[in-house]
Structure 1
């Protein structure tokens, strides 16, 4: 399969540069899988030892 000579490896940046970021809606980030606190880790270590 031959790739036409008109295509290049670089993407067309014109549309990206003109994109209006204000169209995005503001969202709140929510941590789906938060790491346990130091306290919780210590409690689990203690429980595992006994």
Structure 2
């Protein structure tokens, strides 16, 4: 095995065969408003 990777397969890869996908955030970060609401509800308890 050589230290250098073999790029021959990458260079001949056909990108047009890939399917289009839409990326979606599975666990989005909370907004400032959400954080403030949670802080207020914790203080009220």
Unaligned runs of 5+ in 1: 1-6
Higher helix share: 2
What does residue 35 of structure 1 align with? Answer: 29
Number of residues of Structure 1 aligned to a counterpart in Structure 2: 44
- Provide the TM-score with structure 1 as the length reference: 0.77
Larger radius of gyration: 1
Matched, 1:21 2:7: no
Q: Which runs of 4+ in 1 moved over 4 A?
A: none
